[in-house]
Amino acid sequence: MWSTMQDHPLTITAIMRYGTRICGEAEVATFTGDGMRRTSYAELGRRAARLANALRRLGVDADQRVATFQWNNTEHLEAYLAVPSMGAVLHTLNIRLAADQLVYIADHAEDDVVIVDDTLVPLLATILPRMKTVRHVLVTGEADLTPLEPAGKELHSYEALLAAEPDTFDWPELDERQAAAMCYTSGTTGNPKGVVYSHRTAYLHSMAACTGNGFGLRAADRVLPVVPMFHANAWGLPYAALMAGASLLMPDRFLQAEHLVRIIEDERPTISGAVPTIWNEVLRYAQENESDLSSLRLVPCGGSAVPESLFRAFDDLGVRIVQAWGMTETSPLASVAHPPPACPDPWRYRVTQGRIVSGLEVRVVGDGDTVLPADGASVGEIEIRGAWITGSYYRDEDPSKFHDGWLRTGDVGTVSPDGYLVLTDRAKDVIKSGGEWISSVELENLLMGHPDVVEAAVIGVPDPKWQERPLASVVLREGATTSAADLRAYLADRVPRWQVPERWSFIAAVPKTSVGKFSKRTLRRLYAEGALEVVETK
Ligand code: ADP
């Protein structure tokens, strides 16, 4: 028999309505480098309506892709609400990708309109002429549009367009399964692939973020998404904030530690999400300047493994980092490392990639696609399925990424009987030495626990005897004189001797990807080209 319950579509429109009507007193505040410019959620709703009217007037009347080329700011949030709610598809472009990749992505998604921040006009100008499908460009702020003129697109001032439109819009009834937004993977390990989120998956994902086992967002929270809105939708924090009626603090282009700390001290956010490299910089700045980060009750951190030293240093500042794991393909929130209640050894759980969130399932798969036990010991590729996991890529047949309805994550690790994941590596980064596996992530985390090490990235390099051996690229604290031999001795106390790298490279900074992760691809290339100065010690 069927239920008696109403079949009400789960849509971003519903999230927007709740946030902007019921919680109209909450605000989105964007940092200007000097102070904050503030917009109430009630006003945000009116501006989203103006934007929808403007886009409709430009011919966006179906599932056209409206791309954003923006920092985390109020206008980007307006697009997040207006575009999907009017039935079009929001496409967040990663402003840090290489020009060729951006052009490829915009063409592949067939972007029709681009909304660009005034501060990003010079960057967009370099690629706009090659973006074939784009018809209209909306420029926020007070930018000079001249650099965009040679591209031959129709150029508009965002504010002038909005000012000319009414502040209500007849939001259509949408099917919850229709496309709402799309995001391309950042291509850390290959060409970008498009993932298309539906209204339903965005809604369910936001609910998961709002649960206590997720990030527990509520109206009293002030949320600072440092993770870009073009990187897996800022981990879903913007929609979750609207759903919870929590205020949003947007850093715009001011992502240096000094600015972030100022926003934290002045605006007192309670939640802030960013990748470990950002928190590492914030930590050093806060320690040097005795900054007050105590307003933060929860700091979701992920995108790459969080070194234990980072948790401990933030604990000392009274700030709780919680590790989370996910990927563009998983919306992205998939697991969060809250330890189980009354657990005698919370550290055992805090350093994991987290416990799978309700609504999703994970499993470990070994050679020949055999499903291995979730016993916390069997190591294999992690596969995932569930209510907000992609089932394919957009216009890109890649059956090798899927397996019997599960997504192959490309991450290698274990799952414990109580659903905690421990990742040892990405499949492509695992180091195979003489037939045994060495976890690059484990070596990196241990090295970054050394008091003189600021950053450490470990890659596998060819070795005549063992096929592959680890090479550690290390950034030392300024003035430190620690040697490769010292670091070898330090590791030898912590991992089996055969895992300790013989090859060391001391560098000024680890190269980063467009979303701030260690770029092992770049390191491998530099090594292959002989551009890394390597010392060998045994
Ligand atoms: P890209 O694949 O281009 O880096 P994503 O942002 O989608 O783009 O990255 C997802 C990947 O990031 C995961 O598959 C995983 O390898 C890594 N990752 C995310 N969170 C964590 C974490 N907490 N610990 C280790 N790796 C993580």
Selected catalytic residue, list 133, 153, 267, 437: 437
| SS3 annotation, 180-195 | EEEEECCCCCCCCCEE
DSSP secondary structure of 401-455: GEETTEEEEEEEEEE-TTSEEEEEEETTT-EEETTEEE-HHHHHHHHTTSTTEEE
On whether the CB atoms of residues 218 and 246 are closer than 8 A, the answer is yes
Which segments of the chain have a pLDDT < 50?
Answer: none
For the chain, helix, strand, coil in percent to 5 are 35, 25, 40
Rounded Cα distance between 26 and 44, Å, is 10
Tell me, rounded to whole angstroms, the distance of Cα 14 from its chain centroid: 24
Ligand 1 atom closest to 329 (CA): 7
Selected catalytic residue, list 13, 185, 390, 424: 185
| pLDDT per residue as tens digits for the range 202-220 | 999 999 999 999 999 999 9
Residue nearest to atom 26 of ligand 1 (CA): 304
Ligand 1 atom closest to 324 (CA): 23
Write down the residue that tokens 């990749």 correspond to. 101
Residue nearest to atom 2 of ligand 1 (CA): 188
Looking at residue 397, its pLDDT comes to: 82
Q: Is the CB of 328 under 6 A from ligand 1?
A: yes
Rounded Cα distance between 211 and 244, Å, is 10
Per-domain residue ranges for the chain?
12-255, 327-426, 431-536
Looking at residue 190, its pLDDT comes to: 64
Edge-to-edge strand ranges of the sheet holding 179-184? 154-157, 136-139, 111-116, 65-69, 89-92, 179-184, 194-198
Q: Could you tell me which residues come within 8 angstroms of residue 5 by beta carbon, excluding any fewer than 6 positions away?
A: none
Q: Is the CB of 327 under 6 A from ligand 1?
A: yes
Q: Domain 12-255's class? A: alpha beta
Report how far ligand 1's centroid is from the alpha carbon of 326 (Å). Answer: 6
Helix (H, G, I), strand (E, B) or coil at 467: strand
Report how far ligand 1's centroid is from the alpha carbon of 324 (Å). Answer: 10
The count of other CB atoms within 10 Å of the CB of residue 113 is 27
Selected catalytic residue, list 25, 154, 347, 432: 432
Q: Which fold does the domain 327-426 belong to in CATH?
A: Luciferase; domain 3 (2.30.38)
On whether the CB atoms of residues 439 and 422 are closer than 8 A, the answer is no
On whether the CB atoms of residues 363 and 370 are closer than 8 A, the answer is no
Looking at residue 185, its pLDDT comes to: 87
Picking from 524, 509, 513, the residue whose alpha carbon sits closest to that of residue 431 is 524
Residue nearest to atom 27 of ligand 1 (CA): 304
Ligand 1 atom closest to 188 (CA): 3
Percent pLDDT > 70 in the chain is 99
Tokens of 155: 């150029």
Q: Is the CB of 185 under 6 A from ligand 1?
A: yes
Picking from 187, 100, 195, 260, the residue whose alpha carbon sits closest to that of residue 517 is 187
Q: Is the CB of 323 under 6 A from ligand 1?
A: yes
Active site residue 498: no
Report how far ligand 1's centroid is from the alpha carbon of 327 (Å). Answer: 5
The H or E element spanning position 68 is strand 65-69
Q: Write the CA distances from 456 to 132, 305, 309, 311, 494, integer angstroms.
A: 41, 12, 12, 16, 16
Report how far ligand 1's centroid is from the alpha carbon of 116 (Å). Answer: 27
Q: Is the CB of 470 under 6 A from ligand 1?
A: no
Rounded Cα distance between 141 and 164, Å, is 16
Report how far ligand 1's centroid is from the alpha carbon of 448 (Å). Answer: 19
Ligand 1 atom closest to 301 (CA): 23
Rounded Cα distance between 45 and 202, Å, is 18
Query: Which of 357, 423, 521 to mutate to test ligand 1, by most ligand atoms within 8 A of the CB atom?
Result: 423
Looking at residue 436, its pLDDT comes to: 84
pTM of the entire predicted model = 0.92
Active site residue 482: no
Q: Which fold does the domain 431-536 belong to in CATH?
A: GMP Synthetase; Chain A, domain 3 (3.30.300)
Report how far ligand 1's centroid is from the alpha carbon of 304 (Å). Answer: 5
Residue nearest to atom 24 of ligand 1 (CA): 305
Active site residue 437: yes
Selected catalytic residue, list 75, 329, 383, 455: 329
Looking at residue 428, its pLDDT comes to: 85
The count of other CB atoms within 10 Å of the CB of residue 444 is 24
Query: Which of 94, 277, 279, 325 to mutate to test ligand 1, by most ligand atoms within 8 A of the CB atom?
Result: 325
Query: Treating both helix axes as pointing N-terminal to C-terminal, what angle do 257-267 and 276-289 enclose, rounded to 10 degrees?
Result: 70
The count of other CB atoms within 10 Å of the CB of residue 376 is 15
Q: Is the CB of 331 under 6 A from ligand 1?
A: no
- Which burial class, exposed, middle or buried, applies to 256 when counting CB atoms under 10 A from its CB (0-12, 13-18, 19+)? middle
Active site residue 432: yes
Tokens of 455: 């950053």
Q: Is the CB of 140 under 6 A from ligand 1?
A: no
Report how far ligand 1's centroid is from the alpha carbon of 172 (Å). Answer: 35
